[in-house]
Homo-oligomer: A and B are copies of this chain.
Amino acid sequence: MAPWGERLAGVRGVLLDISGVLYDSGAGGGTAIAGSVEAVARLKGSRLKVRFCTNESQKSRAELVGQLRRLGFDISEGEVTAPAPAACQILKERGLRPYLLIHDGVRSEFDQIDTSNPNCVVIADAGESFSYQNMNNAFQVLMELENPVLMSLGKGRYYKETSGLMLDVGPYMKALEYACGIKAEVVGKPSPEFFKSALQAIGVEAHQLLSM
């Protein structure tokens, strides 16, 4: 691998993940990862454009940013690219009214979205809300549509909490795909459109980017 000086030569912007990079989530708001508060401050004081790009979909941006600010990070809502607002934009553009199979913590992001008489399903890391009943509701909505649209906020397999490994949204996306014989549209990493929207927000091209 090329030395840092060389690798950074053409770099104009930095995308920073949040969970596992800036902080570890957990009870009581989680803990900042050593050195990360200072690293963010230095990056924002440099000539580099900084954008926070996360697949967090159990919390609204407001809640996430509040948590990070309490840990000492210099971060505001407008600097965060997250799947829920990205999904809202797509829903509006395409006139889609979702059945929401999501965590209550992120529901406020969808406040402006019409969810009456649903013509698509949006699933996110819903945790305990992944009940049989809720999954079956989502399934029934999809089966009644001529062109079923399933939008998944990320497709992670699992993540780690202090209590152990936890199923993420991906397995439940696969379950609905198999049940309905369809393919989900993934909003969030690793979707190229999602990265592009983060880049557009800071006016940086992909080849000018450092992502971590």
Contact = CB atoms under 8 A, between A and B. Distances in A.
A157 interface: yes
Interface majority SS on A: helix, strand, loop or mixed?
helix
Interface residues on A, range: 20 to 34
Interface string A171-190: 11011111111000000000
A165 B178 contact: no
Interface of A: 126-133, 135-136, 139-140, 143, 157-158, 164-168, 170-172, 174-181
A166 to B, nearest CB: 6
Contact of A127 (B128, B132, B178): B132
Nearest to A177: B174
Given A158-B179, A167-B179, A174-B175, A130 B140 contact: no
